[in-house]
Chain A
Amino acid sequence: MKIFSELKKNLKNDFSNLTPVKVALLGDNPTQLLTIALRGTGYDMGFDLQIWEAGFAQIERQVFDQASEFYAYQPDVVIIFHSSHHLLQKYNKLNPEDYSSLAEERLKQVENLTAAINSGLTAKIIHYNFPEINDGVFGSYANKTQSSFLFQTRKLNYGLMEYAMNKAGFYICDLAAVQIQCGKATLFHPSVYINTGMVLSIDILPEVAARTVEVIAGMYGKFKKCLVFDLDNTIWGGVIGDDGIENIQLGGLGIGKAFTELQHWLKKLKNRGIILAACSKNTEAIAMEAFDQHPDMVLKVEDVAVFAINWDNKVDNLLHIQSILNIGFDSMVFLDDNPFERDMVRQNIPEITVPELPSDPADYLEYLYSLNLFETASLSNEDAGRTKLYQTESKRTAEKQSFVNEDDFLKSLNMVSVVEPFTNFNIPRVAQLTQRSNQFNLRTVRYTEAELKKLAKSEQVFSFSFGLEDKFGDNALIAVAILKKENDDTLFIDTWLMSCRVLKRGMENFVLNELIDAAAKIGIKYLKGEYLPTVKNGIVKEHYANLGFTEQDGYWTIPVDGYQTKKTFISRK
């Protein structure tokens, strides 16, 4: 990780090609250096964070005054930094009989701040939680003493989690976890605090900035979706081809424990929705025997979406895995114990994240914990089932090869689509798709659940969500369209996006048929679309041209009257 002065040098770089995000930073402690660290870290992660800082200790004044500079700035993201030290100062001044209400009062304050911000802005809020300060007044007995500062701090952190859990658009950045990871002596330098009031040391600023920008990156659809792992000496000890299945190291004994615990971690990631793929130089039958038969294997065949086990080079295998999963390399992590393989992958596919695994397998897990690779800004029930979706995709790919004629193949899939407007049931998944879809996405407009709920109620907006099922399984909600009434004749296609795992299934034709159909019913004469290019959505550059729209001044239109229904093998459910 870069040190602060290196991040500071980033500020002189050219930010013009990066994703701009307007950030308001409100702190009860001096935040000038945090601002520098955030902007410098943002640069390395592809963001032009345009940070407006509230003056020192102006949180309430700015937020509760709807005419303040804060609201005039119209931030996309609001970062609120209440520090443990100010909390402690407040506690110190309380009458002892009020000590026990500290956490509740602070939570109420957070709720009030959030309510005020939400009434004036659609910005997302990031609130740091509170690293513990053990003031030693009660010793360990603080845990049995509600009025202790430690008790109140922990209660507050727990309360913040409960609040965040139920409050869309409100996120915690886990500063307390940074203190646990790096130690209080690194996080907090008393002399810096005494001389400047800063509660973060200069050494910890890069770490705190990274954790914060990762949360923002999650909101903007940049996060890891897939972990590819090697087998020998990565998820088990030893070389299965040489040592034999009975001699690989796994289980409770010796170094085997390190690999077993790593596998549990991988399994938890898979349960959370991270796609696992295996990439190993091995004889496939020998390696698969471990998954099928080794009693201490935590990972089973059904946990892994793609196996690329052969003697080809890993770069080719990663290309193969990527083509099946249809996700960007920048959303993939590659774990391999071999420095040579790691370097080769880094050099050929620089977008992939390749952790520099320590040489001692006992250190793997702690090292991986410290990287915070899997930050996210949303989870849905569907995440957990993602592996299964990709496994069926692999089967589809295999079956496709047996059909010479594309149409015959599509017909054989028996595809059925559920078309619905936005409802409270599908909005979480729709929001997630708008935040995650980068490739098949015409305008890449990101929406929060709250924003979608507003849209769903509007008379000027027509919303469509598309599910898709076929004989191999349910692909669930895979396409979204949002049409806005521009005038009595025209609907503007504000959003049209599709999950890439259903590419080449004729879904675009089906969607357009549905949109035209809906438009005709309400007397609309034209659909109007727009393609806004990004680094990632090149595949839809010709989307509207291919569907028969005509271009004028950067907009694409198609008349509703006389529309020739497009060929599709998908039927409406």
Chain B
Amino acid sequence: MERNEILNTVNNVFIDVLDDDNLVLTEATTANDVEEWDSLNHIQLVVAIERQFKIRFASQEILSWQNVGEMVDSIAAKLNL
């Protein structure tokens, strides 16, 4: 799966979970940039992304991402294994 495609899919998951149709993510987006992205929603996003890509993150990974780009790195690494 292309990196762009992963980002788009992640974007759609965010739109669904955070219920914000206008949300546009870039690789540089952080939790500070998105109002609804709090710790409670973070865990829901993680579970929704795991479900979407049929992957499982390690518990430390979940808290390690500094921005959406690093999240995409983790997904890409698991998909390309």
Contacts and interface: CB of A to CB of B under 8 A. Distances in A.
Contacts of A202: 43-44, 47
A9 B57 CA distance: 26
A203 B43 contact: no
Interface in B4-39: 16-17, 19, 39
A5 B58 contact: no
Interface string A191-206: 1101110100111000
Contact of B48 (A5, A32, A33): A5
* Interface of A (DSSP majority class): helix
A32 B40 CA distance: 8
Contacts of A473: none
Given A5-B16, A5-B17, A5-B48, A190 B40 contact: no
A203 to B, nearest CB: 7
B55 interface: no
Interface in A170-224: 189-192, 194-196, 198, 201-203
B59 A198 contact: no
B79 interface: no
Contacts of B44: 4-5, 33, 202
Contacts of A32: 40
A196 B59 CA distance: 10
Contacts of A189: 47
B43 A192 contact: yes
A195 B59 contact: yes
Nearest to B63: A195
Contacts of B39: 196
Interface residues of A, number: 16
Contact of B58 (A4, A9, A191, A203): A191
Interface residues of B, number: 14
Contacts of B58: 191
Contacts of B59: 190-191, 194-195
A388 to B, nearest CB: 51
A482 B16 CA distance: 52
Q: Which residue, of A191, A196, A201, has the highest number of chain B Cβ atoms within 10 A?
A: A191
Contacts of A5: 16-17, 44, 48
Interface in B55-72: 57-59, 62-63
Contacts of A191: 57-59, 62
B16 A195 contact: no
Nearest to A192: B43
Interface in A38-64: none
A202 B45 CA distance: 11
Nearest to A203: B47
B40 A195 contact: no
Interface string A149-167: 0000000000000000000
Q: Which residue, of B17, B40, B43, B58, has the highest number of chain A Cβ atoms within 10 A?
A: B43
B29 to A, nearest CB: 20
Contacts of A190: 59
Contacts of A203: 47
B48 A195 contact: no
A200 to B, nearest CB: 11
Contacts of B62: 191, 195
B75 to A, nearest CB: 15
B43 A196 contact: yes
Contacts of B17: 5
A190 to B, nearest CB: 7
A201 to B, nearest CB: 8
Contacts of A196: 39-40, 43
Q: Which residue, of A5, A190, A201, has the highest number of chain B Cβ atoms within 10 A?
A: A5
A189 B46 CA distance: 12
Q: Which residue, of A33, A201, A202, A203, has the highest number of chain B Cβ atoms within 10 A?
A: A202
Contacts of B63: 195
Contacts of B19: 9
A9 B44 CA distance: 13
B13 to A, nearest CB: 10
A192 B62 CA distance: 9
Contacts of A195: 43, 59, 62-63
A420 B19 CA distance: 58
Contacts of A194: 59
Nearest to B40: A32
Contacts of A9: 19
Interface of A: 4-5, 9, 32-33, 189-192, 194-196, 198, 201-203
Given A4-B44, A189-B47, A192-B43, 7 more contacts: A5-B16, A5-B48, A32-B40, A191-B58, A194-B59, A195-B62, A201-B47
18 contacts: A4-B44, A5-B44, A9-B19, A32-B40, A33-B43, A191-B57, A191-B58, A192-B47, A195-B43, A195-B59, A195-B63, A196-B39, A196-B40, A196-B43, A198-B43, A202-B43, A202-B47, A203-B47
4 residue pairs, one from A and one from B, having the closest CB atoms = A191-B59, A202-B47, A194-B59, A196-B43
